[in-house]
Amino acid sequence: MITKMDKKLLIALSFIICHSSFSVAQKAPVFETSAKDEIVANRYLAGSNYLDYDRQLTDKALTPAPKGYEPFYMTHYGRHGSRWLIWEGDYRLPMTTLKSAREAGKLTPLGEETLQKLEAFHPTTEKRLGDLTTVGERQHHGIGKRMAQNFPEIFKTPGVKIDARSTVVIRCILSMIAECEELAAANPTAQIHNDVSESLQYYLNQPWEGVVKEQGRTTGDKEYAEAQQKYTHPERLMKALFNDQQWVYNNVASGDFMRRLFEVAANMQSHDTDIELLSLFTDDEVYDQWRIRNVGWYLDYGASPVSGSKMPFSQLNLLKNIIETADTVTQTQATLRFGHEVCVMPLACLLELDNCGMAVENLDELDTYWRNYRIFPMGCNIQLVFYRPKKGKEGDILVKALLNEREAYMPAQTDNWPYYKWQDLRLYYLNKIKEFEGGL
């Protein structure tokens, strides 16, 4: 007789076996260069979720459609563009520390210069916390323009029907508008329907609930704290900014101050400004600060063994919506959804795009296999493009995935990468959902 516990074990084992077989078939490429080398060459990458979409790694040309096929439908989820930091303390706290040092006569010339930069920028944050910036708006204009250029069969079809929906957050709504403006400019006959409603939040901005939240958010705290301790080395920076290290010891939480100052520095790329702060940090410090954030995002949203690889399933409703919409689409030729990086990242992991779904035991080696800046810069997006045989021909429906407009590997077998049979992917994802829900 099979007990309830035996059933759960069998479900878990079948999921692991199925997941492993597809992971082997996926054959996502290994990174060609180390994360540190990439960051040294392009410091903006260390911004993690603050990375300007247009400062990513070099683009690659898209593979032409398979012979006899044409694109006919796109389903999409995209993050808002670049923004101001969300919490007022993000700007205020590092500035307050430097002001206290100024009043005590403890700043070096570099410390004074840094404070002046923060003071000059701070007024721009007034009543702007979390708002979309001009950089963010520009990102989405570019994405929308390239959508129409890359897939004219979809977006330049006379009378194309585009369904675009956003979370209720203003920066997401404005990002949707910017993208749709470009699609309308490319095709004045396009019929674009925009929708914003609390009723859509359950899949556009799904909250952390139940077993996913409890097992993921709680168990990663210790590992994240260890990463902060291991990779934060503020001694050099304190000497560069302050002229009295005893005063620093008595008055400054140096590790916390360094991380907060780096946060402001990393997000300056979200603005059209000549104020620059990343040069305060050495290459090693920039890399280490990024490693902290890479570990933190992986623990909270990736398939980390610490959380039993459950965190990607926070986007269960979003994946269900993607499948259900693709199943029922008739006249609509594009389904666009706009939200946040806390949805894009776990969705990419849940879909197992490229290396996103990897389970990495040793967090010290995480960046060998998993790099957050490749997944969720400002404006990040996932585009699933569907292809069908041209009129008069028979064949399977094919799909390819674009992660930030780059072709991605998916968890199925194919002899025609980057194209996969939709029926294979659909079955795989439905089984993955079923096995997860059956194991709760």
Residue 11: pLDDT band with limits 50, 70, 90 = very low
Predicted confidence at residue 2, as pLDDT, reads: 37
CA distance 386 to 367: 32
Cα–Cα distance list, 162 to 74, 158, 178 (Å)? 9, 12, 14
Is residue 130 scored above 80 in pLDDT? yes
Round to the nearest angstrom and report the end-to-end CA distance of the chain: 21
Position 231 confidence tier, pLDDT thresholds 50, 70, 90: very high
Mean of pLDDT values over 127-154: 97
pLDDT band at 330 (very low <50, low <70, confident <90, very high): confident
Q: Taking 80 as the threshold, does the pLDDT of residue 366 lie above it? A: yes
The answer on pLDDT for 4 being more than 70 is no
Contact status, residue 291 vs residue 219, Cβ threshold 8 Å:
no
The predicted structure's pLDDT at residue 426? 98
How far are the Cα atoms of 243, 387, 388 from residue 64, in angstroms, in the given order? 60, 11, 14
Q: Say what percent of the chain tops pLDDT 70.
A: 90
Query: By C-alpha distance, which of 381, 305, 394, 319 is closest to 350?
Result: 319
Indicate whether 235 pLDDT > 80.
Answer: yes
Q: Which of 55-69, 237-251, 308-322, 361-375 has the lowest mean pLDDT?
A: 55-69
Give mean pLDDT, residues 88-94: 96
pLDDT over 80 (residue 217): no
The length of the chain, given as a count of residues: 440
Per-residue pLDDT band at 393 (split at 50, 70, 90): confident
Give the closest residue to 375 by CA, choosing from 104, 78, 103, 116.
78
Q: Is 379 left (phi over 0), alpha (psi -120 to 50) or beta?
A: left
pLDDT band, residue 394 (cuts 50/70/90): confident
286/329: higher pLDDT: 286
pLDDT mean over 411-431: 97
Contact indicator for 299, 314 with CB cutoff of 8 Å: no
Query: What pLDDT is stored for residue 347 in this prediction?
Result: 97
Spacing of C-alpha 28 from chain mean position = 18
pLDDT at 25 over 70: no
